[in-house]
Amino acid sequence: MMDTDRHPCFSEDARQRFGRIHLPVAPHCNMQCNYCNRDFSCVNEARPGVARAVLKPKQAAGYLDAVLAKAIQISVVGIAGPGDPFANAEETLETLQHVRARHPEMLLCLATNGLELPPYVDALADLKLSHVTITVNSVNPEIGARIYAWARANRHMYRGIQAARLIWERQQEGIRRLKEKGIVVKINTVVIPGVNDSHVAEIAEKVSQLKADIMNCIPLYHVAGTPFADIEPPSGLKMQEIRSKAERYMPQMSHCQRCRADAAGLIGQATDQAVMALLREATSPRASVERPYVAVASREGIFVNQHLGETAALWIFGLQDGKAALVDRRPAPPSGGGPERWAAMAELLKDCNAVLAGGVGTTPQQALEKADIRVVVMEGMANEGVEAILAGHEVPKILLRRPGICGMGKGCRGTGTGCG
């Protein structure tokens, strides 16, 4: 049996002795809350929704091993974003599987908005996940409609009262199913003055009826660029009053520190600089004997200036005396082959650590990364990206670009300006 008293987020005593680590493997979210902005991350921000990097499942497993080798007293591995675990269900479950296989004694937990939780409860129970945190900000659709801008489920977009009603329905189902499996459930509620602050006790009553275990009332955190940015956070006295009313129905947690999606170590303490360095290293693997090269989508072999889907050939670079050196030019698999084309490209590039492209679609990106080939969307001189990757450094941020920002979507014809 696992000692669930070792979970620092659920036990005031445990937080003094045990640390936790959040593995940031879930970048996407399936809803937009009006207090949340995940577009930027300052190292000084201590709040959910931000992370210095996003890891692939295998990278996360390696990063965890490296952190544990530092003899840091970690008792819990969690996934808390920076988006929602179940908007990234495949990555979330794969990561948990790696951790459970390597560290069978470790407590596993995750934090979710609950929208897409229900279908995965059985899988979580099979992995012996012990704790789940669900953020419930409203049990009244009219109040919820003021908090949630939209929710996306079953390939449909929901807004307003319809979105809020769906979110609460899915959350109820998720809590019920988790409790049927004997999993500890914590409820997070963000207290928003003038919106849901007088509604918190009702939330506590409803989740108590669902057999949730503990509640964590979190004061609104000021985040620039959000619809709620101008709302003054509730005072300490107001939070004390709210918790007192909610405590009639639910035990209250009072030591929450609003952890980042990449938090590591003891709650309340800044992440150790050595651990932050390990996180950066995990996203920038060095060249290996098996994968000494980087592939580049380029028209002339000098600039990264082609969308991966349009490239007729890939330029292959290695390192020579610390500088990028061209070693090969390989014809790309012919277009129109669907998933088979990307499987063939993964085979073509099996000796490559990464591929640099001006744009990439979701399907090829997933296919290549599943084959452990990192995909970097950037623009500029190829040698700058190649040398950074093969030396184990981060690609300069000024060169990076996010896929899909051009807005062309399905209208893209391989201009290299992005892909949705």
303 or 283, greater pLDDT: 303
HEC readout, 267-332: CCCCCCHHHHHHHHHHHCCCCCCCCCEEEEECCCCCEECCECCCCCEEEEEEEECCEEEEEEEEEC
397 or 347, greater pLDDT: 347
Q: What 3-state DSSP class applies to 145? A: helix
pLDDT of 363 over the 60 cut? yes
pLDDT of 1 over the 50 cut? no
φ/ψ of residue 82, rounded to 5: -75, -5
Q: What is the mean pLDDT of residues 156-175?
A: 96
Domains of the chain by range and CATH? 4-282 (3.20.20.70), 293-411 (3.30.420.130)
Q: What is the mean pLDDT of residues 391-413?
A: 63
Predicted TM-score (pTM) of this structure: 0.72
Q: How far apart are CA 68 and CA 60, in angstroms?
A: 12
Question: Percent of the chain, pLDDT > 70?
Answer: 82
Q: Which of 296, 311, 306, 315 is nearest to 416 (CA)?
A: 306
Task: Identify any residues that bridge with 33 across adjacent strands, giving them in sequence order.
Answer: 148
pLDDT digits (tens, 9 = 90+) for 311-322: 999 999 999 988
Q: Quote the tokens at residue 69.
A: 């080798």
- DSSP state for residue 397 in the 8-state scheme: G
pLDDT digits (tens, 9 = 90+) for 226-243: 899 889 999 999 999 999
Rg (CA), the chain: 23
Task: Identify any residues that bridge with 92 across adjacent strands, giving them in sequence order.
Answer: none
How confident is the prediction for the chain on average, in pLDDT?
85
